[in-house]
Amino acid sequence: MKLNLFVAWSAYALALASILLIALTIVAAGYGFSGWALVAALGAVVALGAAFGMMAGTVRRDHRRHYDTPHLF
């Protein structure tokens, strides 16, 4: 259960970080800093991918252990 709580909160934090990085991408692109916009966009994609990967891995682990529903929170 501790792993599920860790994954849930970590994925939530990564999702919030990706929203922040998307905003940073828009601001950097608006001011003409294309290099920083690219770095922020790649960071947002990586953070969102990591969040989805962590959640999917936890759901898969719960299904392998024959839990009815994944207990994330």
Distance CA 22, CA 46 (A): 12
Query: What pTM does this model have?
Result: 0.84
User: Of all helices (H) and strands (E), which one includes residue 4?
Assistant: helix 2-30
Distance CA 48, CA 23 (A): 14
Mean of all residue pLDDT scores within the chain: 90
Dihedral pair phi/psi, residue 67, rounded to 5°: -80, 145
Model confidence at 64, in pLDDT bands (50, 70, 90)?
Answer: confident
